[in-house]
Amino acid sequence: MSTNNLKPKSPSESEIVMTELVLPNDANILGNALGGRVMHWIDLAAATAAHKHCGAICVTAAIERLSFLNPIKVGQLAHLKGRVVCTGKTSLVTKVDVWCEDMDTGETYPTSEAYLTFVSLDRNGKPRKVPPLDIKTDEEKAERERARIIRNKLLEIKGRVSK
Ligand SMILES: CC(C)(COP(=O)(O)OP(=O)(O)OC[C@H]1O[C@@H](n2cnc3c(N)ncnc32)[C@H](O)[C@@H]1OP(=O)(O)O)[C@@H](O)C(=O)NCCC(=O)NCCS
């Protein structure tokens, strides 16, 4: 990961939380939120965090380690938290955590997580530099390390890892 002359930003500066009420049109015949619908919300949360970090449009390049741990039922809330956890030169990795809230009982539980890679583009659609991350806490360091492993695997697949 290289640095550049843009002002570093902390992961919390890009953090966003969005909430969706799961409606029948979002669900399968079991009354659970469709995986594809949850993926769409995850992509939106991640893209918003990436845009906030870069101050520019970012496109999704890859989605990794997407898991569905528990169902989200119709009538429940899906909360999504997205933030930038690792940066490269023109690309970055966002982590999205999803959890469910039952408004009747107040119970909450985790339902999904995913790592999404974005590339920041200029007005001509060319990759542009992204601000580096200002990492301070041990948790931020651990999250960056997990994202780096994912990023290196992706680049290996594309044959782009620089030795
Ligand atoms: C993402 C995209 C712009 C990358 O274009 P590219 O020509 O491969 O760009 P580059 O080779 O200059 O790579 C740019 C950066 O992206 C990274 N990258 C490119 N493809 C990647 C992939 N599949 N996975 C992870 N990182 C990737 C590169 O490692 C590089 O990172 P760095 O600058 O931080 O080192 C291009 O593949 C694209 O337009 N894809 C479609 C995006 C899209 O339509 N998304 C859905 C709607 S938003």
Domain boundaries defined on the chain? 11-157
Binned average pLDDT, 10 residues per bin, the chain of 163 residues: 78 98 98 98 98 97 96 98 98 98 98 98 96 97 95 86 51
Instruction: Give 140 Cα–ligand 1 centroid separation in angstroms.
Output: 24
Instruction: Give 77 Cα–ligand 1 centroid separation in angstroms.
Output: 33
Exposure string over 90-127, b if 16+ CB within 10 A, otherwise e: bbbbbbbbbbbbeeeeeeeeebbbbbbbbbbbeeeeee
Structure confidence at residue 5 (pLDDT):
81
pTM: 0.94
Pick the residue whose CA is nearest to atom 29 on ligand 1: 155
Q: Give the separation between CA 53 and CA 94, rounded to whole angstroms.
A: 10
Atom of ligand 1 nearest to the CA of 151: 25
Is the domain covering 11-157 a CATH 3.10.129.10 domain? yes
Pick the residue whose CA is nearest to atom 21 on ligand 1: 61
Residues facing 112 on adjacent strands = 68, 98
